[in-house]
Structure 1
Amino acid sequence: MSEGPEPGLTIAQALREAAAQLGTASSTARLDVELLMAAALGVSRSDVLLRHMNQPVPNGFGALLARRMRHEPVAYILGRAEFYGLDFTVTPDVLIPRGDSETLVDAARDALAARPPLRILDCGTGSGALLLAALSIWPHARGFGIDRSDGALAVARANAAALGMADRAEMRSGDWDSPGWSDDLGRFDLILANPPYVEDDAALEAVVRDHEPAGALFAGPQGLDAYRVLIPQLPGLLAPGGIALVEIGSRQDEAVGAIAHDCGLTVMLHRDLGGRPRALQLHRPGSG
């Protein structure tokens, strides 16, 4: 199927054939091929299913399918991904925003419902997804997105502009491993972070291992290196009454929680929709 569907197939037939062949490379094969077909046609996925199933296959579909057969993520092929109801540009410079990470935004929304944050910091902003999702909830807030990757910052700035938030979201080069990176930032009512947390020798699916940026994935033999550096800096960045939401791996709640406790922070665990540990909510005791 890497050469494309057979000539003369309708879109309905091509989707069935493509999904069957892609099944070895994707657990969401049918959805993938429908999205790729929509891109080839230049219409929405629902339009494909409702209006185009009996039409001939467009010329560009075969090339898109071949890329997916080589385990390239659909989001990178299409150049976009949805997160928290917002449309984001994504490139191989950034991690693909995932629905599980919406747990951080939901937890922040609930925790700060009675005292909306005015200043938000996103550490390792990537595409800007966490920061911009938070700013979409709180229209009076302003935020900083910090990343050490110039490529990621370019993507984040483009997303802020496309979503009409460029005047409220400053994307800035910064690396929490470097002393002084936060000296002029001040304190924040909300800090969000999805740091690297994958063990160096972890067995990842090819769709992640071979395509998403390694620097945003791997964090030492236990996957804890980023937490050991970032979390001790959080107390000095939190405003009175402020909270931090930090994404974690599904088996890291106790280890990361211990790091936070050692830094004098209280810890609350949040689970994702699948019931897996996904985020730790941190704050300084007695800070409001």
Structure 2
Amino acid sequence: MTDAPVITDSHCHLDFPDFDEDLPQILSRAREAGVHRMVTICTRLKNEPKVRALAEAHAPVFYAAGTHPMSAAEEPLARVDELIALARHPKFVGIGETGLDYHYTAESAEVQQQSLRIHIAAARETGLPLIIHSRAADDDMARILAEEYRAGAYTCVMHCFSSGADLARAALDLGFYLSMSGIAAFPKSQELRDIFAAAPVDRILVETDAPYLAPPPHRGKRNEPAYSALTARKGAEVFGMDYHDFAAQLEANFERLFAKAADFRAAA
């Protein structure tokens, strides 16, 4: 590894076919960039065995699983007990991704909301963080997160946050975290950067959402975990911090929220 400070890519999709041919090289480039750990996300529970196998085969890789909202109408509804059982795996560190997406799949809003509440119940029961995808659904998302929090506390990260300031404030008011993706580094994303800048720096994570949303100078190409360091450098600018200090803050934030991943490393 170089002398780059270490960070974690808190959300990527290493099981996607985009990475079938060169995963060892991708993990090596991540290490060289200072990305010493990553959480790969299962978006359909039927694919959980493949995602789990990746985490078991590669020391830097942890995983989470859930039903993506865009797939909620196509997949069997997850069960709370099913998610709790999956969470017993030592490298299973989060519930999701789940959430609401009305941009392409508004017609399945009702089942998306039902699925979201199931995942929240599992997050509450396991103590693992909920991983939220939210697009074009700010009002319903804020309402459901708050309703469910009143029913019982849970932890949460708003993954790849690119929604409005009102949803950001609603999430932060509940004690949740916002995750910066490559979108935050796009030249035309100043409004989004301003939303992040207004957030407490101890509630920020960084991610790639690889293979999607590569930050400059790789925009339009396949994203990969190494590039989370580029987004983190943009984040340091947003918060007016030295990169080493910001990276240390990101690691502290990740390990506070994803405590199971931190404990696994401590025990290793």
TM-score by length of 2: 0.33
Q: More helix by proportion, 1 or 2?
A: 2
Structure whose alpha-carbon radius of gyration is higher: 1
TM-score by length of 1: 0.32
Q: Higher relative contact order at CA 8 Å, sep ≥6: structure 1 or structure 2?
A: 2
